[in-house]
Amino acid sequence: MYQRPLPDLNSSSAIAYPALKFQHFSYSNQLYEIATIIELKFRMLQFELSLRIFKCCRQPNTITLIMQEEVFVKVLFRYFSQVLEQETVETMWAIEIDKEKGLYKLDSIPFYGPNIAPDDIFYAEYDQNEEMLTLREVKEYSGSSVIQVILMKEPYEALDLREQLSSLGCITESLNERYFVTEVPPTVNYEPVKFFLSKLSEEGRIEYAEPVLSSVHAL
C-alpha cells in the first residue's frame, strides 16, 4: 500500500513544544511530550529506507525522487504556527506538476497548521536564503481538510484511533505516540469523522483542531 512520504521537521519546534493553543482548546507543557532522540533517529531511518524504495537523484540544493513517472521534490514551507506560537519550518514532499511554471502538488500532511492541505497545487521557486525550493502561494485548493489530534489519556491508543479514522476514509501521519494529523479527502463525508472526534473529545480522550477545513467539509 502506498503511503505519503513523511515531512521533515527542520526547526526547533521538532525538539521543544510550547503551550499548544488550537481553535477551541489549550494544552499545557505537561500534557504534551517532546519528540525524543530515539524518535528522531527512527524518522531518519524511515527516510533512509524510502531512498531504497525510490530512485534518488540529487541535484544542487534539490532532492528529487522518481517513482513510476511521478517526480517528487522537497519543498520548504515557512509559516507562523498557531499550534507552536512561533515561526516554523517544515520541508514536505510534493509532486512536480509543471517545473517550468513552478507548479507542484503537496503530497504530505502538514503537522503544525500552514494554510495548505494535501493535493493542493501551489507555486514554489528556489529561494537563495533558504537554499531550496520554497512555497510562494497556493494556486488551487483540492478540497481536502487537515485535522490535528492530541491524545490526553493513558494508555495512548493512537494506532487504534488512526485505524478507525482510516476506516472512515481518512489518512493519518503520526509525529509521536500522542500527536498525529489527519487528512480528510474531499470525497469523504466529514460528518461521521466529526462525530467520532467530538465523542472522543467529550470523553476527555483527545483534543483536536481543524487548521484547514475546506468548504466541502464545513458543517
Render 122-172 in DSSP notation, one character per residue.
Answer: EEEEEETTTTEEEEEEEEE--S-EEEEEEE-SSS--HHHHHHHHHHTT-EE
pLDDT surpassing 60 at residue 34: no
Separation CA 209–CA 170 (nearest Å): 15
Quote the pLDDT of residue 5: 55
- Flag whether the pTM goes above 0.75: no
pLDDT surpassing 70 at residue 103: yes
pLDDT digits (tens, 9 = 90+) for 154-190: 888 899 999 999 999 999 999 999 999 999 999 999 9
Least confident of 58-67, 84-93, 124-133, 179-188: 58-67
Q: Which of 140, 167, 189 is the last residue of a domain?
A: 140
85 found inside a domain? yes
Q: What residue type is 165 in one-letter code?
A: L
Verify that 13 and 54 share a domain, yes or no.
yes
Q: Which of 85, 108, 140 is the last residue of a domain?
A: 140
Quote the pLDDT of residue 85: 85
219 found inside a domain? no
Verify that 28 and 129 share a domain, yes or no.
yes
Quote the pLDDT of residue 15: 29
Quote the pLDDT of residue 155: 86
Q: Which of 128, 138, 183 is nearest to 7 (CA)?
A: 183
Question: pLDDT: is 186 or 32 the higher one?
Answer: 186
User: Mean per-residue pLDDT for 120-149?
Assistant: 96
DSSP SS3 for 69? coil
pLDDT digits (tens, 9 = 90+) for 35-74: 333 344 445 445 444 434 433 343 444 555 555 678 999 9
Q: If 0-12 CB within 10 Å is exposed, 13-18 middle and 19+ buried, where does residue 57 land?
A: exposed
User: Mean per-residue pLDDT for 147-158?
Assistant: 92
DSSP SS3 for 9? strand
